[in-house]
Amino acid sequence: MDKTILIATKNRYKIQEMAPILETYGYKLQPADLPKIEIQADTLQEIVAYAARHIPALDKPVIIEDAGLFVKALKGFPGPYSHYVYQTIGCKGILQLLQQATDRTAVFQSAIALKTPTGDTYIFTGETMGKITAEPRGTGGFGFDPIFQPQGTDKTYAEMTLQEKNLYSHRAKATKKLAEFLTAKS
């Protein structure tokens, strides 16, 4: 049985993070050049569900993943707008917004939509509590990784190896839920 899962993304970092987790369950993650309609919405789940509904029916399962950084002192901003905020103001901009903040608590969330060959859609989520550091640290990862320090460690995501990050990562947690679902269903 072919255990290939397509992923609608051009983000190689997402693939690098998710592929090893899926491989431990016997699945192969393969990037697919598919049209991904990304709406602006209040939740990550709405964003990935909408994108999944607009992916054409294929003979393999397809996943769409979106993530967001929700900063408590900023009332959950940037949240589902994280990609745009990162592109416009980056880590430096978030740190400037938090200059006077005493509470630097944040949560990173991930939502994965799975669209099956029969057209059914399932959503899997993961989240990691942590805090925003005072300055960027590390050179690994991508996006807000240099300023996010997960609870239970003194490193930012960007200071971790891929294996370390996957012990804490919001994306890893959602990917494991997806893999467990697929395994139970097969």
pLDDT digits (tens, 9 = 90+) for 48-89: 999 999 998 889 999 999 999 999 999 999 999 999 999 999
Q: How many Å apart are CA 91 and CA 94, to the nearest integer?
A: 5
pLDDT digits (tens, 9 = 90+) for 113-157: 999 999 999 999 999 999 999 999 999 999 999 999 999 999 999
Q: How many Å apart are CA 80 and CA 38, to the nearest integer?
A: 11
* Residue tagged 């103001």 (tokens): 89
pLDDT score recorded for residue 1: 65
The fraction of the chain above a pLDDT of 90, given in percent, is 91
Cis peptide before 78 (omega within 30 of 0): yes
pLDDT digits (tens, 9 = 90+) for 80-119: 999 999 999 999 999 999 999 999 999 999 999 999 999 9
Catalytic residues: 66
Token output for 140: 């690994």
pLDDT score recorded for residue 135: 97
Q: Where are the beta strands (DSSP E) in 8-58?
A: 28-31
